[in-house]
């Protein structure tokens, strides 16, 4: 199962990710992504505000978000045709290039319409990272704990970035210009690309059958249409973005119009929102140990709304900073809980598309919020705007409350185990329902270095898949081969009902998943493509063992 029992500490989470080099690379790059995204967005809003005030700022934000909303699901689908690692590298390279182009245009004092057109590039490029990463991390995680931990740490990174990036953007704007911010963002994204470059080619690709199953007449939402749980969670996470989109615009008006402060305070107030997420680290860490996430979502919605109602009073600068921090903490916890619940619920073979669609719908929700904000300010001022935005999540919660609780009770999809099985030669050809069934039957095993998992000559009753570590296959005291993550062993004895043909010994402390004989044979023999793959693998391994026997005979 993918639900971890028992709350986790900060040290445990950091240690869990530190031991997985690939996840460390992904998270290090994610820091550059988030810092770049938020810093460039602050610079964009400040530039638009300087051109035409709050109205132009809101309109420009909306126009820039519409292409992101439309293209995010499409890019996620196209990206799923190649290895997720390769898609992730491409996303960071695209972000670096498009931000550099905008910087050049600003330094050249290009017309504002040209700048706005070029700003579409970074916006679309930034939407590529989260869907790819959300689909990629299950294949990099070695245990369910690692997957949930990386989701929580991603939330922390985003919270720290919402705090650090706008503050940094504010400092750059105070001493430089919007163009300087985009130069900084291009440099950050270049570093991100270097972090994930070693992961190119990892993660596998979607089989044509699965690709067709995920599409219907070209519509990207078809695979969610008949999945009420995924649809509800997509809408819930997107409803949050209506308020965030409005907040992006309202913070500019709060700093410049409501409080009468300089442009740098746009960055500082936005940073306060991110600081709240940093302070909420303890709350998000406890999500790792919660089998049920709906109560946390409800509490976060309530806190979020109360903070917005406080901002409706247009308090002084100090109170505004405090309220934004509270809202930021609620948002960080809400986002981690909602995304984790969606990851537990959605079809594992379509995770990239689910999160691609989420990215697109959220961009649309952000656009809706950014266009609502100036309209509400025009109708009733800043106070009315904050009060209306405060009501968005509570109203949605009232509508979906019971359904959300039902989803939470049944969200137990073993995504880590499924990703591991899909990385193996034997089980990759299986259809999604068969893979999920097998994943539920896996039994985790921790193996110490030097331990023999199977012994040559004994009867075989289980097949093993390597989640982490290294094993050597020994035949008559000779090492035949070495096996690592994503490979399995024990299939020969099970398929041909013969004694074990070799001994398999752990070279390092390792993690295995075991599958009993009946489940293994049912899966392999029940699907022609998997059976062919099994026979090919067995033939190759028997040939290796015959070479060992021949070498032994000569000596």
Better-predicted residue by pLDDT, 456 or 228: 456
* Res. 141: pLDDT tops 50: yes
* Res. 221: pLDDT tops 60: no
Better-predicted residue by pLDDT, 466 or 332: 466
Judge if 204 and 301 occupy the same domain.
yes
Judge if 194 and 139 occupy the same domain.
yes
Closest Cα partner for 371 from 24, 55, 40, 134?
55
Q: Is residue 352 part of a domain?
A: yes
pLDDT of res. 498: 82
Better-predicted residue by pLDDT, 68 or 548: 68
Judge if 225 and 289 occupy the same domain.
yes
Judge if 459 and 489 occupy the same domain.
yes
Q: Is residue 4 part of a domain?
A: no
Q: Is residue 317 part of a domain?
A: yes
> Do residues 424 and 486 lie in contact, with contact meaning Cβ atoms separated by under 8 Å?
yes
pLDDT of res. 209: 41
* Res. 45: pLDDT tops 80: yes
Judge if 512 and 436 occupy the same domain.
yes
Distances (CA, A) of 413 to 13, 187, 360: 21, 39, 24
Contacting residues for 473 by C-beta, under 8 A, at least 6 apart: 479, 480, 481, 482, 483, 489, 502, 503, 504
Q: Is residue 231 part of a domain?
A: yes
Contacting residues for 349 by C-beta, under 8 A, at least 6 apart: 206, 210, 214, 418, 422, 432, 435
Q: Is residue 1 part of a domain?
A: no
Distances (CA, A) of 76 to 260, 281, 420: 42, 29, 21
Judge if 332 and 459 occupy the same domain.
no
| Range with lowest mean pLDDT among 160-164, 283-287, 302-306, 478-482 | 283-287
Q: Is residue 222 part of a domain?
A: yes
pLDDT of res. 7: 44
Closest Cα partner for 284 from 328, 317, 241?
328
| Range with lowest mean pLDDT among 23-27, 251-255, 277-281, 430-434 | 430-434
Most confident of 102-111, 164-173, 309-318: 102-111
* Res. 218: pLDDT tops 90: no
Judge if 330 and 447 occupy the same domain.
no
* Res. 214: pLDDT tops 50: no
User: Domain holding 267: CATH number?
Assistant: 1.20.1250.20
Domain tally, the chain: 2
Q: What is the arithmetic mean of pLDDT over 84-89?
A: 82
Better-predicted residue by pLDDT, 200 or 308: 308
pLDDT confidence tier of residue 213, bands split at 50, 70 and 90: very low
Judge if 206 and 336 occupy the same domain.
yes
Judge if 169 and 286 occupy the same domain.
yes
User: Domain holding 516: CATH number?
Assistant: 2.60.120.10
Last residue of a domain, one of 360, 390, 416: 416
Q: What are phi and psi of 471, to 5 degrees?
A: -130, 145
pLDDT of res. 145: 63
Judge if 476 and 387 occupy the same domain.
no
* Res. 189: pLDDT tops 50: yes
Q: What is the arithmetic mean of pLDDT over 532-537?
A: 70
pLDDT confidence tier of residue 274, bands split at 50, 70 and 90: confident
Judge if 382 and 465 occupy the same domain.
no
pLDDT confidence tier of residue 409, bands split at 50, 70 and 90: low
The DSSP secondary structure of 474-532, one letter per residue, reads EETTEEEEEE-TT-EE-HHHHHHT---SSEEEESSSEEEEEEEHHHHHHHHHTSHHHHH
* Res. 97: pLDDT tops 90: yes
% of the chain exceeding 70 in pLDDT: 73
* Res. 100: pLDDT tops 90: yes
Q: What is the arithmetic mean of pLDDT over 227-232?
A: 71
Judge if 371 and 348 occupy the same domain.
yes
pLDDT confidence tier of residue 194, bands split at 50, 70 and 90: very high
Q: What is the arithmetic mean of pLDDT over 13-39?
A: 81
% of the chain exceeding 90 in pLDDT: 6
Last residue of a domain, one of 363, 384, 416: 416
pTM value > 0.75: no
pLDDT confidence tier of residue 10, bands split at 50, 70 and 90: low
Q: Is residue 3 part of a domain?
A: no
Q: Is residue 208 part of a domain?
A: yes
pLDDT confidence tier of residue 4, bands split at 50, 70 and 90: very low
Last residue of a domain, one of 365, 385, 416: 416
pLDDT of res. 457: 86
> In which domain, by residue range, is 225 found?
10-416
Average pLDDT score, the chain: 76
């Amino acid at each position: 199962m993918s639900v971890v029992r028992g709350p986790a500490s900060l040290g445990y989470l950091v240690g869990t990710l530190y031991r997985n080099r690939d996840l460390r690379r992904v998270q290090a790059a994610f820091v550059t992504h988030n810092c770049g995204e938020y810093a460039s967005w602050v610079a964009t809003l400040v530039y638009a505000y300087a051109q035409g005030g709050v109205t132009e700022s809101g309109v420009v934000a909306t126009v820039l978000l519409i292409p992101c909303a439309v293209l995010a699901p499409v890019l996620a689908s196209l990206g799923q045709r190649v290895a997720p690692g390769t898609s992730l590298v491409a996303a960071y390279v695209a972000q670096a290039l498009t931000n550099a182009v905008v910087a050049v245009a600003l330094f050249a004092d290009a017309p504002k319409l040209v700048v706005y057109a070029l700003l579409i590039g970074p916006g679309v490029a930034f939407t590529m990272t989260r869907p790819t990463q959300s689909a990629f991390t299950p294949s990099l995680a070695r245990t369910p704990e690692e997957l949930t931990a990386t989701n929580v740490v991603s939330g922390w990174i985003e919270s720290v970035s919402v705090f650090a990036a706008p503050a940094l953007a504010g400092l750059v704007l105070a001493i430089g210009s919007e163009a300087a911010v985009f130069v900084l963002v291009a440099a950050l994204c270049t570093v991100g690309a270097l972090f994930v470059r070693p992961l190119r080619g990892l993660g596998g690709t979607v089989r044509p059958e699965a690709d067709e199953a995920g599409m219907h007449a070209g519509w990207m939402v078809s695979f969610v249409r008949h999945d009420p749980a995924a649809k509800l969670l997509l809408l819930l996470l997107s409803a949050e973005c209506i308020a965030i989109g409005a907040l992006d615009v309202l913070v500019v008006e709060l700093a410049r119009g409501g409080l009468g402060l300089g442009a740098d305070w746009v960055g500082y107030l936005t940073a306060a929102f991110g600081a709240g997420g940093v302070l909420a680290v303890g709350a998000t860490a406890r999500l790792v140990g919660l089998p049920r996430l709906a109560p946390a979502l409800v509490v976060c919605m309530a806190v979020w709304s109360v903070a917005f109602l406080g901002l409706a009073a247009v308090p002084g600068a100090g109170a505004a900073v405090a309220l934004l921090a509270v809202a930021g903490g609620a948002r960080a916890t809400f986002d981690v809980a909602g995304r984790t619940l969606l990851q537990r619920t959605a079809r594992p073979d379509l995770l990239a598309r689910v999160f691609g669609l989420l990215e697109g719908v959220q961009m649309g929700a952000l656009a809706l919020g950014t266009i609502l904000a100036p309209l509400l300010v025009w109708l009733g001022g800043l106070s009315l705007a904050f009060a209306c935005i405060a009501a968005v999540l509570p109203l949605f919660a009232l509508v979906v409350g019971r359904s959300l609780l039902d989803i939470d009770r049944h969200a137990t999809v073993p995504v880590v185990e499924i990703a591991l099985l899909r990385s193996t030669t034997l089980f990759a050809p299986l259809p999604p329902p068969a893979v999920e069934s097998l994943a539920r039957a896996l039994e985790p095993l921790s193996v110490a270095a030097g331990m023999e998992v199977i012994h040559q000559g004994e009867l075989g009753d289980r097949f093993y898949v390597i989640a982490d570590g290294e094993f050597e296959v020994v035949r008559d005291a000779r090492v035949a081969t070495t096996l690592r993550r994503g490979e399995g062993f024990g299939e020969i004895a099970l398929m041909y009902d013969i004694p074990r043909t070799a001994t398999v010994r752990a070279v390092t402390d390792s993690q295995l998943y075991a599958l009993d004989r009946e489940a293994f044979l049912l899966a392999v023999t029940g699907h022609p493509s998997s059976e062919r793959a099994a026979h090919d693998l067995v033939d190759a391994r028997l040939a290796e063992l015959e070479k060992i026997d021949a070498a032994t005979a000569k000596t």
